[in-house]
C-alpha cells in the first residue's frame, strides 16, 4: 500500500465485509442487521462504507442526523436509513419525507409536533419510536406508552415502522439488562393490543448481539464491532472482528540529542542518554490524542517505538535509539497491524483514558482516506 500523504487512514473494505459476515453469522435468518454509519462511519467514511454495506444487503443504515442521511441519499444509497437522533425542534419534517429517511421519535412534544406537521404531506412519515427502559438518555418513559398510543391512534400521517430501546450496559449480562428487555417487551405488547404491528423491533447493540440473544427481536444494531473494536475482551473472543482502519504516517526527520536534553513543549521528557529521535508529521489536529504524550507507542519496521515528549498540533517525537535501520520515509503505524504486531483503538483508548469510538471519530478530515 503506497503511503501517498503525510498521514493516511487506509480503510480495508474487505475486512469490513468479513466483519459484517461474522456478525450476520450470530443472528437467526429472520433478524436483520442495522449497520451504524453515523459520524462519517466512525471516521471511516460514511459514503464508501455504506456502499459496501448496501452491496452486502444491510437491512438498515443508522445515522445520527438528517444531514448525514441526506448525504447518503445524494450519493445514491437506497438502503433504509434510520436517523437515530431524530428530528430536532428546529428541523422541518419535509426533508425526511422527501429523502425517505426514518427518524427516531422519543419525546411526546416532538411526537405531537410531527403528528401536526405531517398532515401537510402527501405521504406518511415513517418513524421508529424509542422507549427508555433504563438507559436514562433518549426515549419515552414506558409509563407514557398510553399517551403515545393515544396520539398515534387514527393518525394517518404517521407510520409506526419500528419500536426500539437501548441497553445502558451491554458489554456484560446482568439482571438490570434482563429487566430492560422485559420492560421493552411490555411496551411491544401494549402496541400490539392497540392494533399496531411495527415492521421492525430492535434493542440489541454490538455487545447485546452476544450477551442478550433474547433481545434480537427483528433487527440488531452493529456499530463498533463492525469496525473491529470491542467494549470488552470477552466480547472480542466471542465476536473476533478485525480492525478496518490502519492509520499511518512516515518518518519525516531524524535527529540525535545528548543526555539531559528536553524535548518538545514543557520539556516533559528529558533524555537520559544519547538519544536518536524520529519526527512524525502528525499531531492532535489529525486526531492523534495528546494524552498519548510520553505514553503511546508506534510501529516502525515491525518494532515498537515509544512516543516521547508532548504531542503537538502537527508533530510528535519517537525514540528510535538502538534502531539504526530506521530511515527518513519509513512507514510509521499509529493504529493498525504490521506483520508481527498490532496497535488497536482499544489499546489507545485505554492508555488515553477514553473509548475506541472516540479514537476513530477524532481522526480528522486532513488525514487522507484511501479505500482498499
Residues with catalytic function: 38, 265
Contact (CB, 8 A) for 303 and 251? no
With a CB cutoff of 8 Å and minimum separation 6, the contacts of 365 are none
In whole angstroms, what is the distance from residue 270 CA to residue 51 CA? 49
Annotate 35-92 with DSSP letters as a single string.
EE-HHHHHTT-HHHHHHHHHHHT-SEEEESSHHHHHHHHHTT--S-EEETT---TT--
Helix (H, G, I), strand (E, B) or coil at 125: strand
Annotate 142-155 with DSSP letters as a single string.
GGGHHHHHHHHTT-
Output Rg (C-alpha) for the chain, integer angstroms.
Answer: 24
Q: Give the residue among 98, 85, 93, 102 at the shortest CA–CA distance from 38.
A: 85
Amino acid at each position: 500500500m503506497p503511503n501517498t500523504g503525510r498521514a493516511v487512514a487506509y480503510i480495508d473494505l474487505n475486512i469490513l465485509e468479513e466483519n459484517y459476515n461474522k456478525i450476520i453469522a450470530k443472528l437467526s435468518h429472520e433478524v436483520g442487521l442495522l449497520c451504524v454509519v453515523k459520524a462519517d462511519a466512525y471516521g471511516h467514511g460514511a459514503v464508501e462504507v455504506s456502499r459496501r454495506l448496501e452491496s452486502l444487503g444491510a437491512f438498515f443504515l443508522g445515522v445520527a442526523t438528517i444531514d448525514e442521511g441526506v448525504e447518503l441519499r445524494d450519493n445514491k444509497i437506497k438502503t433504509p436509513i434510520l436517523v437515530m437522533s431524530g428530528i430536532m425542534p428546529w428541523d422541518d419534517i419535509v426533508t425526511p419525507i422527501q429523502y425517505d429517511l426514518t427518524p427516531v421519535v422519543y419525546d411526546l412534544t416532538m411526537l405531537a409536533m410531527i403528528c401536526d406537521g405531517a398532515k401537510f404531506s402527501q405521504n406518511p412519515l415513517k418513524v421508529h419510536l424509542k422507549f427508555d427502559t433504563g438507559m436514562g438518555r433518549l426515549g419515552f418513559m414506558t409509563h407514557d406508552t398510553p399517551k403515545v398510543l393515544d396520539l398515534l391512534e387514527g393518525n394517518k400521517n404517521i407510520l409506526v415502522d419500528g419500536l426500539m430501546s437501548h441497553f445502558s450496559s451491554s458489554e456484560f449480562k446482568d439482571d438490570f439488562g434482563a429487566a430492560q428487555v422485559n420492560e421493552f417487551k411490555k411496551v411491544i405488547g401494549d402496541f400490539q393490543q392497540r392494533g399496531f404491528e411495527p415492521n421492525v423491533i430492535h434493542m440489541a447493540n454490538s455487545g447485546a448481539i452476544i450477551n442478550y440473544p433474547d433481545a434480537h427481536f427483528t433487527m440488531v444494531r452493529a456499530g463498533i464491532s463492525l469496525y473491529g473494536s470491542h467494549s470488552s475482551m470477552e466480547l472480542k473472543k466471542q465476536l473476533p472482528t478485525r480492525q478496518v482502519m490502519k492509520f499511518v504516517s512516515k518518518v519525516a526527520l531524524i535527529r540525535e540529542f545528548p543526555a539531559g536534553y528536553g524535548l518538545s513543549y514543557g520539556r516533559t521528557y528529558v533524555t537520559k542518554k544519547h538519544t536518536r529521535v524520529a519526527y512524525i508529521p502528525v499531531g492532535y489536529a489529525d486526531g492523534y490524542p495528546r494524552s498519548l504524550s510520553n505514553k503511546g507507542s508506534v510501529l516502525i519496521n515491525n518494532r515498537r517505538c515509544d512516543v516521547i515528549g508532548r504531542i503537538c498540533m502537527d508533530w510528535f517525537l519517537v525514540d528510535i535509539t538502538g534502531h539504526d535501520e530506521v530511515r527518513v520515509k519509513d512507514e510509521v503505524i499509529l493504529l493498525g497491524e504490521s506483520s508481527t504486531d498490532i496497535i488497536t483503538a482499544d489499546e489507545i483508548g485505554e492508555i488515553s483514558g477514553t473509548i475506541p469510538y472516540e479514537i476513530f471519530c477524532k481522526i480528522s478530515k486532513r488525514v487522507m482516506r484511501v479505500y482498499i
